[in-house]
């Protein structure tokens, strides 16, 4: 059933934005209202307990979240497409539970997923009007594994079109807004997923991260976001930006919930050969060890290069410095690092997106689009299949992204000397980070997830802090670090060596439990 992976990972395709064409669902019946609870800021773990105790049904949860989406999403723009079969799927999962056929802790829990992950029963659009009719032949591996674990895909979420930037604006879904201040952007490109979870339109979500696209929206919406080690989880059926950088990771209200989603989705997938690296590297559960005092005796390297001075960076710096102090209060030993000119130079030269995008997107479209929509496939050579050239020729893309698509049509064939140099810098970055952590006996690096709080819509901001993890393939976790004086969320990031997720999550959980910075919007 699964298709062969061809070095890809970051897509989206959809049917319409909430304001335009979210699939209409019938009003819930009086019977369906039975068992509905207040789902505001409920974690996956909490919902699992309520379901297990019979205090709520999956059908009740679906209705509760649909009510919140109807009431709040018109002002937020997080949701692109609702699953019209969500209630029927919830009833089926409730029946399985009643028969004692439990699939795991996600059984019957609604989740949302970024609309660059293939779903056989819903459009996958990358947020683009150009792909509004695209329906893949099967699920991405990540989606299939979620469903096998009993999770229910409630909706597909908006993203920055083709995952091209950090502001979450698309031609199909418009501008997604930050629930902590709707005049500000939510980060991106997985901003729709983050906003849906932050505003309790769903308890958890999947996003993709090529350079910060999970961690930045997590920081901007007061969530936990995990970028896993490259190779830990499959990218099969995920629209790509760059196959050597793309990853899929959870966005949740707690580290515990992130561990639950990782448990359900990671591991070797023959459809994505890079995941061979995960063989023998996946623990029985990422929940194991979360409650240990992981910060006691831990050494964390403070990357001072990533504490900027411009704009509102001082606000972020103050909160992240406080977070480091809080880690020290829990027994950690901070180690000041910097400046690190060799590390920063390698990171600056290791971005492969521009080189790989056309190759990887065309390979993805060949499998997931199968030449559709037909109205596009004839716009450019070859006339019998859909390619980046067709999308660029369509013009059905927001202007800022369209200019990039057009510039990257007919990219130089790979390999070539310039691309080879980016790979060399990637390998150099990996070696430098590994050596740095060994030299100082570090358990993790720590720095701001992004240098400033969310800027107003239309105001750009630097996102260079994403590079260390993204360009090396090392894992990183963003955790809430508190709020600025005017109520804007800030995140602190922990980076570790490949496949160190158990330790990173334990460190993040220890900090999270000691500080309790997760606060829903409006509180």
Enumerate the H helices of 440-490 as residue ranges: 467-472
Residue 115 near residue 221 (C-beta atoms within 8 A): no
Give dist(CA 147, CA 435) in Å, integer: 40
Give bridge partners of residue 448 from the DSSP assignment. Answer: 492
**Active-site residue, 114 included:** yes
Catalytic residue (choose from 189, 200, 472, 500): 189
**Active-site residue, 156 included:** no
Residue 176 near residue 202 (C-beta atoms within 8 A): no
Catalytic residue (choose from 43, 58, 193, 213): 213
**Active-site residue, 189 included:** yes
> For the purposes of burial, counting CB atoms within 10 Å of the CB of 247, is it exposed (0-12), middle (13-18) or buried (19 or more)?
buried
Helix, strand or coil for residue 157?
A: strand
Catalytic residue (choose from 10, 114, 254, 368): 114
HEC readout, 354-379: HHHHHHHHHHHHHHHCCCCCHHHHCC
Residue 123 near residue 81 (C-beta atoms within 8 A): yes
Burial 265-280 (b: 16+ CB within 10 A, else e): bbbbbebbebbebbee
Residue 188 DSSP symbol: S
Q: Which two tokens stand for residue 258?
A: 């992130």
Element (DSSP H or E) covering residue 427: helix 417-439
Radius of gyration of the chain (CA): 21
Cis peptide preceding 120, ω within 30 of 0: no
C-alpha dihedral, 389 to 390 to 392 to 393, nearest 10°: 110
Give bridge partners of residue 302 from the DSSP assignment. Answer: 336, 446
C-alpha dihedral, 506 to 511 to 512 to 517, nearest 10°: -160
> For the purposes of burial, counting CB atoms within 10 Å of the CB of 520, is it exposed (0-12), middle (13-18) or buried (19 or more)?
middle
Catalytic residues: 114, 189, 213
């Amino acid at each position: 059933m699964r298709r062969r992976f061809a070095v890809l990972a970051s897509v989206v395709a959809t049917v319409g934005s909430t304001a335009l064409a979210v699939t209409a669902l019938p009003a819930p019946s009086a019977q369906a209202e039975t068992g509905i609870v207040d789902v505001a800021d409920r974690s996956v773990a909490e919902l699992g307990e309520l379901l297990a105790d019979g205090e709520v049904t999956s059908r009740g949860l679906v209705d509760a979240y649909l009510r919140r989406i109807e009431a709040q999403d018109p002002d937020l723009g997080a949701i692109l497409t609702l699953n019209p079969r969500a209630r029927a799927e919830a009833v089926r999962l409730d029946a399985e539970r009643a028969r004692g056929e439990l699939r795991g802790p996600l059984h019957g829990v609604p989740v949302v997923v970024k609309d660059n992950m293939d779903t056989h029963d819903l459009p996958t659009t990358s947020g683009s009007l150009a792909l509004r009719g695209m329906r893949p032949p099967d699920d991405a591996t990540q989606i299939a594994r979620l469903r096998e674990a009993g999770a229910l895909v409630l909706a597909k979420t908006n993203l920055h079109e083709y995952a091209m930037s950090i502001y979450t604006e698309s031609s199909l879904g418009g501008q997604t807004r930050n629930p902590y201040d709707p005049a500000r952007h939510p980060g991106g490109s997985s901003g729709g997923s983050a906003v849906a979870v932050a505003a309790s339109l769903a308890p958890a979500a999947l996003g993709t991260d090529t350079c910060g696209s999970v961690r930045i929206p997590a920081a901007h919406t007061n969530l936990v976001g995990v970028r896993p080690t490259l190779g830990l989880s499959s990218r099969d059926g995920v629209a790509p930006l760059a196959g050597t950088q793309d990853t899929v990771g959870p966005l949740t209200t707690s580290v515990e919930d992130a561990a639950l989603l990782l448990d359900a989705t990671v591991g070797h997938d023959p459809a994505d050969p890079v995941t061979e690296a995960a063989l023998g590297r996946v623990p029985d559960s990422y929940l194991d060890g979360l409650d240990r005092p992981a910060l006691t005796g831990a050494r964390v390297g403070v990357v001072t290069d990533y504490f900027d001075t411009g704009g509102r960076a001082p606000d972020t710096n103050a909160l992240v410095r406080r977070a480091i102090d809080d880690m020290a209060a829990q027994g950690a030993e901070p180690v000041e690092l910097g400046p690190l000119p060799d590390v920063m130079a390698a990171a600056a030269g290791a971005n492969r997106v521009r080189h790989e995008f056309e190759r990887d997107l065309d390979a993805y479209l060949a499998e997931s689009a199968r030449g559709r929509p037909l109205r596009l496939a004839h716009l450019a050579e070859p006339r019998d299949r859909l390619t980046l050239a067709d999308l660029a020729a369509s013009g059905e893309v927001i202007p800022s992204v369209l200019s990039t698509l057009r510039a990257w049509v007919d990219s130089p064939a790979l390999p070539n000397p310039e691309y080879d140099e980016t790979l060399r810098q990637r390998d150099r970055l990996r070696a430098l980070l590994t050596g740095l952590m060994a030299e100082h006996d570090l358990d993790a690096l720590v720095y701001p997830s992004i240098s400033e709080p969310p800027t107003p819509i239309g105001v750009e901001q630097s996102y260079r802090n994403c590079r260390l993890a993204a360009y090396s393939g090392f894992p990183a976790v963003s955790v809430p670090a508190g709020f600025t004086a005017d109520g804007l969320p800030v995140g602190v990031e922990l980076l570790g060596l490949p496949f160190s997720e158990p330790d990173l999550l334990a460190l993040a959980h220890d900090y999270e439990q000691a500080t309790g910075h997760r606060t829903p919007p409006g509180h």
